[in-house]
Amino acid sequence: MNHLQRDIQRCPRVAVYGTLKRGYRNHYWLEGAALLGQDRLSTITLYDLGPYPGAKKEASHGAVIEVYAITPEQLALLDQLEDYIAHAPHTGVYDRAIFPTQHGQAWCYLYNADVEGAVRIDSGEW
């Protein structure tokens, strides 16, 4: 294992499913992050919230995610973007939890509010 691979192994990982994915408006927040690959998480369900999707911890046919190795500083910035409040995680727009992926354990942001009336994205791809 070379130096770069060792560094990536120690980095936090984030699983993204919406506007942070390649080609979407917030992807620039992941500039410099290493894309490790795609996966499908059958432990979350995506909902269309209009300008962005929200994920709930519910069984599904699989939500399509991209997994990135990021820095702790990038994770802190993503927490700000997603309105994640570490000392009161259920009060922000999103909470986060770790999920197993093909590319290692990764943080994934989960939508805190009720999704009643939102369209469930059964394809898993927003």
What CATH number labels 3-120?
3.10.490.10
* Active-site entry in 58, 73, 82, 116: 82
Going by pLDDT thresholds of 50, 70 and 90, the confidence category of residue 10 is confident
Give the Cα separation of 103 and 28 in Å (integer).
21
Average pLDDT along the chain: 93
Six token digits for residue 64 = 């399509």
For 61-80, the pLDDT digits (tens) are 999 999 999 999 999 999 99
Cβ pair 94, 82 in contact under 8 A: yes
At position 75, the amino acid (one-letter code) is L
> C-alpha distances in angstroms, 36 versus 60, 91, 98, 112, 113?
23, 31, 16, 27, 30
Paired with 83 in beta bridges are none
Domain ranges, ordered by start, for the chain: 3-120
Is 82 known to be catalytic? yes
Going by pLDDT thresholds of 50, 70 and 90, the confidence category of residue 8 is low
